Structure 1
Amino acid sequence: MKTGINHLFIPGPTNVPERVRQAMNVPMQDMRAPDFGDLTKPLFAGLKNILRTETGTVFMFPGSGTGAWEAAITNTLNPGDKVLMSRFGQFSHLWHEMAERLGLDVHVIDVEWGRGVPVEDYAAVLAADGAHAIKAVFATHNETATGVSSDIEGVRKALDFSGHPAMLFVDGVSAVGSIDFRMDDWGVDLIVTGSQKGLMLPAGLGVLGVSAKALEASKSARMRRAYFEFADMLKLNGDGYFPYTPPTQLFHGLRVSLKMILEEEGLDNVIARHARLAEGVRRGVAAWGLKICAQPGFESDTVTTIMVPEGVDAVKVIRTGYDAYNTSFGSGLARLAGKAFRIGHLGDLNEGMCLTALSVAGMALRDNGAMIDTGAGVAAASEYYREARAGAAAKMAAE
């Protein structure tokens, strides 16, 4: 018999704050009522602030981040259009697979797992495309499978340096609301995310930020679509309504999560917290003498992918964490299956929770033959957290 709570350290769905969960406990309501826009219109404005855009348009489709991927592609591109993509983990692979299934001509660059978007390679391909055959450049901001983040601003600079007019598409599913993202400053044309990550909600909302350039492209795009139609949403969203039944309970939760992020903690502080928590986890892993999948300079602040020692089965480590210690870790995906496990550290999270993750992970590793000092990870992380807090307090006092 298990007692207490299940500790959830997967990179999504993330922990839902109790305030958000309670906010969703509301009766059904009329989605055509004259005051429905009082609930929904501020959500569009709040999401624009999360994406750091003044000029973009936000859409919320019932669905997941994968649905948002499909909406982005089908509304702006045509069958046979050439696009530039890269693969360096399971989710960037799946995005590439979707693009091919939807009939795009994909120029794909395969990258070693542990690294991110190959900005220099992108720059070379774009510079060589004098005819501007490439219509869109795709970049996964945070690859959840490998715990890798990429330089989206660098991709924009590569586009600008070559004078290339291609649209910039960004998968921000495990980045938005947790890692610095700037839609307007970085010239992003389409950003997609889902409700179940940094926005601290259950799955069920696919969110898109769409530039004026991408909206203009949607007027002539010929790819087949029906449910994921920007034009249908635009007819009603301005007044806070939707062309089909929306997930009203999620809207109530989103109202609270946006308040927590934007008004109470502040987006810059949220991003700084994720960076601090992630660094503590990485220091804990290093203290065990283990490696992470991400190479230096590509480390993610929302998920750490930990490589297990030779002879240790990561699947058994994850199972031990769940069965013996009531704790969920993320599994190694595709070529990392059995070789790695993941600690998700995004959303509603603090230092104590990260220390719990390291403590349980250390025990599960030892239980499965990893010769590590289980306490070393917690000790290294806790010392870093203590020093980081003290440093932040001193900085605030000085200001």
Structure 2
Amino acid sequence: MRQAGRHFLQIPGPSSVPDRILKAIGQQTIDHRGPDFAEVGQKALEGMKSIFKTKQHVFIFPSSGTGGWEAALVNTLSPGDRVVMFETGHFASMWSKMARKIGFEPEVIEGDWRGGAEPDRIEARLREDVAHEIKAVCVVHNETSTGSVSPIAEIRSAIDAAGHPALLMVDSISGLASIDVRFDEWGVDVCVSGSQKGLMLPPGLSFNAVSARALEYSKAVTTPRSYWDWQDMVGPNGTGYFPYTPATNLLYGLNEAIDMLHEEGLDNVFARHARHGAATRTAVQTWGLEVLCARQGQESDVLTAVVVPEGHSADAFRATTLKHYDISLGNGLSKLADKVFRIGHLGDFNDLMLMATLSGVEMGLAKAGIPHQSGGAQAAMECLKGTGG
């Protein structure tokens, strides 16, 4: 049976695509080697530098964020190289599994999945590595599976304090364009991102922001690569082109997204996400439920992972909420399966959309018989009223 009204896609990405971007993507495809394409390509490549806050290269691949992970690894590491990876959640774990499959030697620092990567533990491990066998440190900026944020600037400081030459590689697939990323200022060497989160596009583009040091490293590493090779991108990118067929229509959408982000102002975008994150956590606390991220100050403003009471099924709750209120919520991943649900509050999203989302969650809690206190949506509204639009 058809359900009237719009569907609420409140997973932590892909996020809903604004009409402006859909319209841009719907333009006719042009010759990607013709003179008109150069303007499209250059705008996208230069525009993404402003989003990453860098003057360094940003490479754009037709792929999901997983492809961006692989590009970061194969351009900076040789077979058998050791890399420290901090396990903040499902996606950090998946990145380390990829590294092992390719032929690297990931050393995983285990976390409790309740917060971000811990700089002191990274520093301690690097201090032990007096022979500098560790070639890189990989961390997830915004861990989409848990709703926690890693302090990237502090991790850079920890690496420097250890006097270690390891590259700093960061996954900000779900962080970029929703929470602040300062590639140059934070001393990041490689930052991976994707199109389907804060950039408000459909899935299909991944990004590598790359420091001069990392780009120089890529000339000497011996891992076989072709599609992902940064060195093949440098020359064509200089004039707005790509070494193979780019995702032309997604680049149209990307350029529109960059314009929209700058029209609002990046600081305003981050402030909006912060307000929505705070209001959502207020709702969860009022319901008497638990926010999965347990470290104050590391809670994500992109999504909120909510723990359901023991003996209850998060997936059954999600199914009930989808059936009765036409809202999609994120599921728990790997060891969090059926234990949490995730509320996405990212992208092209405003106060009224958040209130509708939280109202749907609260009605779903009641319909599914999840023990809770009422009034969470009301508390979130009071929070929003108090902080202004």
Q: Do the aligned partners of 2:233 and 2:243 also contact (CA within 8 Å) in 1?
A: yes
Deviations 1:161-219 (A, max 9, x none): 11111100000001011111111111100000000001000000011100000000010
Alignment match, 1:218: 218
TM normalised by structure 1 equals: 0.95
How many Å apart are 1:372 and its aligned residue?
Answer: 2.3
Specify every segment of 5 or more residues in structure 2 that has no aligned partner in the other structure, as ranges: none
SS in 2 for 1:42: helix
Q: Which residue of 2 aligns with 1:188?
A: 188
Q: Residue 331 of structure 2 contacts residue 341 of structure 2 at CA under 8 Å; is this kept in 1?
A: yes
Measure the CA separation in 1 of the matches of 2:350 and 2:334.
30
Q: Which residue of 2 aligns with 1:171?
A: 171
Decide whether the 8 Å contact of 1:141 with 1:175 is kept in 2: yes
What residue number does 1:66 align with? 66
Instruction: Specify the alignment match of 1:336 in structure 2.
Output: 336
Counterpart CA distance in 1 for 2:311 and 2:70 is 40
Cα separation, 2, equivalents of 1:305 and 1:7: 17
Provide the residue aligned with 2:313 in structure 1: 313
In structure 2, the partner of 1:53 is 54
The answer as to whether partners of 1:314 and 1:340 remain within 8 angstroms in 2 is yes
CA–CA distance in structure 2, aligned partners of residues 132 and 176 of structure 1: 30
SS at match of 2:176: coil
Report the secondary structure of 2:86's partner residue. strand
> Residue 242 of structure 1 aligns with which residue?
242
Name the residue aligned to 2:41: 40
Kindly provide the amino acid, as one letter, of the partner of residue 15 in structure 2. Answer: T
* Contact 1:178–1:198 under 8 Å retained in 2: yes
Match of 2:380 in 1: 381
The correspondence of residues 1-399 of structure 1 with structure 2, limited to 5 A, is: 1-54=2-55, 56-262=56-262, 264-297=263-296, 298-374=298-374, 376-389=375-388
| AA aligned opposite 1:59 | F
Count of aligned pairs between the two proteins: 387
The offset of 1:294, in angstroms, is: 0.3
Please report the TM-score for the alignment, with normalisation by the length of structure 2.
0.98
* SS of 2:132 mapped into structure 1: coil
Corresponding position of 1:396: none
Gaps of at least 5 residues in structure 1 are: 393-399
Shift of 1:35: 2.2
* Counterparts of 2:173 and 2:113, CA distance in 1: 19
1:321–1:360 Cα contact (<8 Å) kept: yes
Secondary structure at the counterpart of residue 185 of structure 1: helix
Corresponding residue for 1:395?
Answer: none
RMSD: 1.0
Identical-pair percentage: 46
Q: Distance in 2 between matches of 1:102 and 1:310?
A: 38
Q: CA deviation at 1:221?
A: 0.9
Task: Check whether the contact 1:147–1:299 (CA below 8 A) recurs between aligned residues.
Answer: yes
Q: Is the 8 A contact 2:176 2:198 kept in 1?
A: yes
Distance (Å, rounded) in 2 between the aligned partners of 1:220 and 1:163: 22
